[in-house]
Amino acid sequence: MIGVYDSGVGGLSVWKELRAVMPAEQFCYVSDGAYCPYGPKDPSFVIERAQAVARFLIAQGAELIVVACNTATAAAITTLRATFPIPFVGMEPALKPAALHSQSGVVGVLATAGTFKGRLYLNTLARFSGRVKVIEQVGTGLVELVEQGILEGPEADQLVGRYVQPMLEAGADHIVLGCTHYPFLTATIEKLVGNHAVIVNPAPAVARQAQRVLAELRERTGKKGPAGVSGVSTFFSTGPDETLQKLVRQIAGDAADGYLYHSLYII
């Protein structure tokens, strides 16, 4: 079983891609909605939550955990790998492909405050800041919007426009989504961006990396993968799960009828 973890529902954008490349696998998803958003919180708190959720997922039988949260990856991935005996896959900064493919020499990055402070992002920025101009924007309020299930409409248009329009005016031809919640706002972003910029979502690349890591793990341990063609997903939430269930059904369609949902108060 593969564990997937996020501060809320945003990690479903990664679960969607994981499910696409590994449809037979079983997934256990934890939304730490009681403490969402993570972006403005102290890194020590995010590390504590990440460790608690990892212990829970390992107890459920996870052989691999995908930290489907940019803020949690930035704060906790090193600690998680040093603490637990299973592999962890985190969210890699997508600044590299944006910088390599930019024609205008200007790239926008929309992320949380915690992500911008993370070592992975800062290392990537140092490598490519000489190649392109990077415009950073903290997407305050966007996570909360997605958690409420507000993905389109006047409120989403106004808030997304506040952050994206200055990037376009500065000449950005790539906009990097640095939070797993933001892909759920893609339709709203595309309406504003049009054909002026490419939206860069790292989730598909992360899913392929998780697939590689799992294959290497099973080859090393001799464990076999599932024999079926469609795995079951189970969802746990420490907070409200209305938006969680709505987005799962939007992604999985009729397959969501076989999924399980649980409230989680013990971690």
**pLDDT 10s digits, 49-66:** 999 999 999 999 999 999
What's residue 226's pLDDT? Answer: 83
Residue 236 confidence class, pLDDT cut points 50, 70, 90: very high
Q: Output the average pLDDT for the chain.
A: 94
Instruction: Identify the CA nearest to 146 among candidates 194, 179, 193, 108.
Output: 179
Average pLDDT over residues 224-251: 90
Asked whether the beta carbons of 6 and 112 are under 8 A apart, the reply is no
Asked whether the beta carbons of 192 and 124 are under 8 A apart, the reply is no
**pLDDT 10s digits, 168-186:** 999 999 999 999 999 999 9
pTM of the complete model? 0.94
Average pLDDT over residues 219-243: 89
Work out the angle at residue 179's Cα, subtended by the Cα atoms of residues 189 and 78, and round it to the nearest 5 degrees: 165
- Just list the catalytic residues: 69, 179
Percent of the chain with pLDDT over 70: 99
pLDDT(208) > 90: yes
Average pLDDT over residues 224-250: 90
What's residue 38's pLDDT? Answer: 95
**Hey, what domains does the chain have and what are their CATH numbers?**
2-91+204-263 (3.40.50.1860), 95-201 (3.40.50.1860)
What's residue 198's pLDDT? Answer: 97
The dihedral through the CA atoms of 2, 267, 16, 259 has a sign that is: positive
Residue 48 confidence class, pLDDT cut points 50, 70, 90: very high
What's residue 267's pLDDT? Answer: 66
pLDDT(265) > 80: no
Percent of the chain with pLDDT over 90: 87
Average pLDDT over residues 28-44: 95
What's residue 247's pLDDT? Answer: 96
How many CA atoms are closer than 13 Å to the CA of 226, on its beta-carbon side?
A: 14
Query: Which token pair is 71?
Result: 């803020």
What's residue 266's pLDDT? Answer: 62
Asked whether the beta carbons of 178 and 117 are under 8 A apart, the reply is no
